[in-house]
Amino acid sequence: MKKLRRKVYMVAGYNTIAMGTGRKEFNPRKERPGLEEYIKEAGQGVLKKIGGAKNVDECVIGNFMASRFNKQANLAGFFPYIDKGLKYKPAVRVEGACCSGGLALITGMKSILAETADVVLVMGVEVQNSVKAIYGADILAGAGWFKERKKGHVYFFPGQFSNRAGAYYEKYGKDSTQQAFAKWYQNAIENARLCPTAQEYHNTTGDLMACGLTPPNGKSFVDNLNLYSCSKVSDGASAIAVVSEAGLKRIGIPKHQAIEVIGYGQVEEDLTQPPKDLTELSTTKQAISEALANAGITVKNLRTAEVHDCFSIAGVLAVEALGLARKGKGPDYILAGNTTRKGKTPINTTGGLIGWGHPTGATGVHQAVTILEQLTGNAGANQIDPDPKRPYGLTVNMGGDDKTLVAIVYKRG
């Protein structure tokens, strides 16, 4: 089946600040922007670039747990709050844990492909600093099978990925793997320092490798990962316009300022079953494989990629799932500098989930905005050197422990 029967583009991306610990503006004791304020900022940021709400046919918002973090559901109802011109426009909210943003993109793309819309306003949002971390861990456990919650670590998802890290140590070696975790952290922070909206933008730590090599302490956190191997609790929103060729003409933006979607993979695994192999992201691998095959390219054609590094072990396993390194060789690939902004395949050029931040429902959309900026030459200080022979980028957004996956391949317009 041909997935893309019609050209689909993305354009006019916007990110709010990823707010949380690390930002100078963040103070847990002071009032901060609410959910609706992040939605309005991101939505208006896109509308200003596409000629206003009159040009929008449909709206999609991705969010994971506002009903618990903020006691607010029915988020599609906030689109008219963004702009009165969105009143009565069709709108929907989608959820797939940390893949909610990726699913929002796919939902917008399918409206374009179904020819029910030519311009879809797509956004993702999450405001999580509304509760203490220990309570947040319980809320976030809903991304997995909650019947397993009592059997898991008090910090549920850090515990899940700590188990993956421990299995990887045992199978492929601990020292080089931990060195790669530290290198991944260093790269994330160095990239985030170049991005004004990143949560780690203000990070002034001197020896990042030393931080990354801090020994894990199972008594205070988890056994096989330290805090630097984890994405932080983040608030934020990202938005983008998903459009057809007719939509591009309507909003008056030339193709060279857009990216074309040329392939995607959307796959799901059984939430009730544990991973068959803790040292592999098999669902991620399947989604990437489908996306690349659908696009008609290989991983060697990619100039850059955004992967779901909720934890550094997820970054290592994503490198292997991409096919950039064989199983067990991801650490070597990373330590050789291949994923840095000057490397063979720069990954997470604005810092990824560890550096830019992880407002869960917004992450997939933020990834698309980053690729848009890179491939159109609008990434500012984060810009990597273009390669005319490799005009492609890829995003991989994961929900749960490798359960809900969206991978999208883009080409410079």
Helix (H) or strand (E) holding 202: none
Note whether residue 219 is domain-resident: no
- Judge contact between 124 and 62, C-beta under 8 A: yes
Average the pLDDT over 357-368 and give the result.
Answer: 98
| pLDDT exceeds 70 at position 90 | yes
Please tell me the distance from the alpha carbon of residue 387 to that of residue 91, in angstroms, as a whole number: 38
pLDDT at residue 271, rounded to an integer: 96
Note whether residue 163 is domain-resident: no
Note whether residue 226 is domain-resident: no
pLDDT at residue 196, rounded to an integer: 98
Q: How many structural domains does the chain have?
A: 1
Average the pLDDT over 105-115 and give the result.
Answer: 98
- Weakest-pLDDT range from 111-120, 150-159, 179-188, 223-232: 150-159
pLDDT band at 155 (very low <50, low <70, confident <90, very high): confident
Note whether residue 52 is domain-resident: yes
Give the Å distances, CA to CA, from 220 to 28, 141, 163: 22, 19, 16
Note whether residue 14 is domain-resident: yes
Range of the domain at 31: 8-132+233-255
Q: What is the DSSP-derived secondary structure letter of residue 171?
A: H
Average the pLDDT over 325-349 and give the result.
Answer: 98
Note whether residue 120 is domain-resident: yes
pLDDT band at 2 (very low <50, low <70, confident <90, very high): low
pLDDT band at 152 (very low <50, low <70, confident <90, very high): confident
Helix (H) or strand (E) holding 49: none
| pLDDT exceeds 60 at position 1 | no
Collect all residues with Cβ–Cβ distance below 8 Å to 1 and sequence separation of at least 6: none
pLDDT band at 116 (very low <50, low <70, confident <90, very high): very high
| pLDDT exceeds 90 at position 4 | no
pLDDT digits (tens, 9 = 90+) for 340-349: 999 999 999 9
Averaged confidence pLDDT in the chain? 96
State pTM to two decimals: 0.97
pLDDT band at 3 (very low <50, low <70, confident <90, very high): confident
pLDDT at residue 93, rounded to an integer: 98
Neighbours of 159 (CB within 10 A): 19
Note whether residue 108 is domain-resident: yes
Please tell me the distance from the alpha carbon of residue 137 to that of residue 366, in angstroms, as a whole number: 22
Phi, psi of 211 (to 5 degrees): -60, -50
Note whether residue 156 is domain-resident: no
pLDDT at residue 225, rounded to an integer: 97
pLDDT digits (tens, 9 = 90+) for 43-72: 999 999 999 999 999 999 999 999 999 999
Please tell me the distance from the alpha carbon of residue 409 to that of residue 401, in angstroms, as a whole number: 22
pLDDT digits (tens, 9 = 90+) for 190-238: 999 999 999 999 999 999 999 999 999 999 999 999 999 999 999 999 9
pLDDT digits (tens, 9 = 90+) for 255-278: 999 999 999 999 999 999 999 999
Neighbours of 278 (CB within 10 A): 21
Q: Please state whether 30 falls in left (phi above 0), alpha (psi between -120 and 50) or beta.
A: beta
Q: Is 252 exposed, middle or buried (0-12, 13-18, 19+ CB in 10 A)?
A: exposed
DSSP secondary structure letters along 61-125? EE-SSHHHHTS---GGGGHHHH-GGGTT--EEEE-BTBTHHHHHHHHHHHHHHTTS-SEEEEEEE
Average the pLDDT over 160-177 and give the result.
Answer: 97
**CATH code of the domain in which 246 resides:** 3.40.47.10
To the nearest 10°, report the CA torsion of 101, 46, 367, 409.
90
